[in-house]
Amino acid sequence: MFFQLSTYLIAAAALFVFSAIKVLREYERGVIFLLGRFWKVKGPGLIIVIPGIQKMIRVDLRTIVMDVPTQDVISRDNVSVKVSAVIYFRVLDPERAIIQVENRVEATSQLAQTTLRSVLGRHELDDMLAERDKLNADVQEILDQNTEAWGIKVTNVEIKHVDLDESMIRAIAAQAEAERARRAKIIHAEGELQASKKLAEAAKTLSSESQALQLRYLQTLTEISSERNTNTIVFPLPMDLVKPIFDRLEAPGD
């Protein structure tokens, strides 16, 4: 009888010691409560938790990657889009992550959804498509401010998709095509303006130098004569070339 009692006591003591020993990994911390009140944060490594008196809750300190479900957002210019995102966050303060919020992951997810709709709703569609880095930073800053009380740090937010309906896609394509046509016309007009300026400068130079005009005339005749064709070309003779001859003939005393 005594032997059996001793065996039971040894087994109970071994079970008590075994249940009191906890091992926490490098990325884990244990939030210890003593008779229902917060006591301290322990870990990593081997720790002792007295059963019935103390209770331990494990907290993972690694970065959590969480998809934000697709949200229906109406932009400032009244365009309806569907936006999805992903956020990265981790626990910095295990005590507050356990005491201040019941379910830190669910709370962060809900906060991310409402913040995403709120921030994107203040911007136009063009901003959503062209300035994602700025929008990511705005959403991350607001989330980080709100989760700080929970001991959570939001390290990054990335908008993954901005989905439009077919009619809006066609409208954007038409707008882009019109913009390309506008730029082509502007470039063509600028080219014509530059060419006209150069032609005006050339005409001014030729008009001020009669020799230059004659040389240009002879060069043009040479270029035409080098072309092999059967067409007859009537080339006007500039009066500047023959005017000195007429003046000499009409001069008195000749």
Model pLDDT for residues 29-48, shown as the tens digit of each residue: 999 999 989 999 998 989 98
Calpha distance 244→240 (Å, rounded): 7
Q: What's the confidence (pLDDT) of residue 182?
A: 82
Spatial contact of 18 and 10, defined as CB atoms under 8 Å apart: no
Instruction: Report the C-alpha gap between 48 and 30 in whole angstroms.
Output: 11
Topology of the domain covering 64-164: Tetrahydropterin Synthase; Chain A (3.30.479)
The whole-angstrom distance between residue 237's C-alpha and the CA centroid of its chain comes to 66
Confidence at residue 7, expressed as pLDDT on a 0 to 100 scale: 75
The CA distance from 232 to 238, in Å, is 19
CA 111 to CA 208: how far, in whole Å? 78
Instruction: Report pLDDT digits (tens) over 91-127.
Output: 999 999 999 999 999 999 999 999 999 998 888 888 8
What pLDDT score does 225 carry? 64
Domain boundaries along the sequence of the chain: 2-59, 64-164, 177-250
Contact 89, 115 (CB under 8 A): no
Q: What is the pTM of this model?
A: 0.64
Provide the pLDDT for residue 213: 58
Q: How, if at all, do strands 45-48 and 21-24 pair? A: antiparallel
- Per-residue confidence (pLDDT) for residue 8, from 0 to 100: 72
Mean pLDDT for each consecutive 10-residue tract of the chain (254 residues)? 68 75 91 92 89 91 92 85 93 94 92 92 85 90 93 93 72 68 83 80 67 62 62 58 60 57
Q: Which amino acid is at 211?
A: Q
What's the confidence (pLDDT) of residue 17?
A: 76
Beta strand pairing call for 80-91 and 64-74: antiparallel
Which run of H or of E encompasses 204? helix 166-208
What one-letter code names the amino acid at 94? P
Task: Residue 83: name the closest of 101, 91, 71 by CA.
Answer: 71
Q: Are 213 and 206 in contact (CB under 8 A)?
A: yes
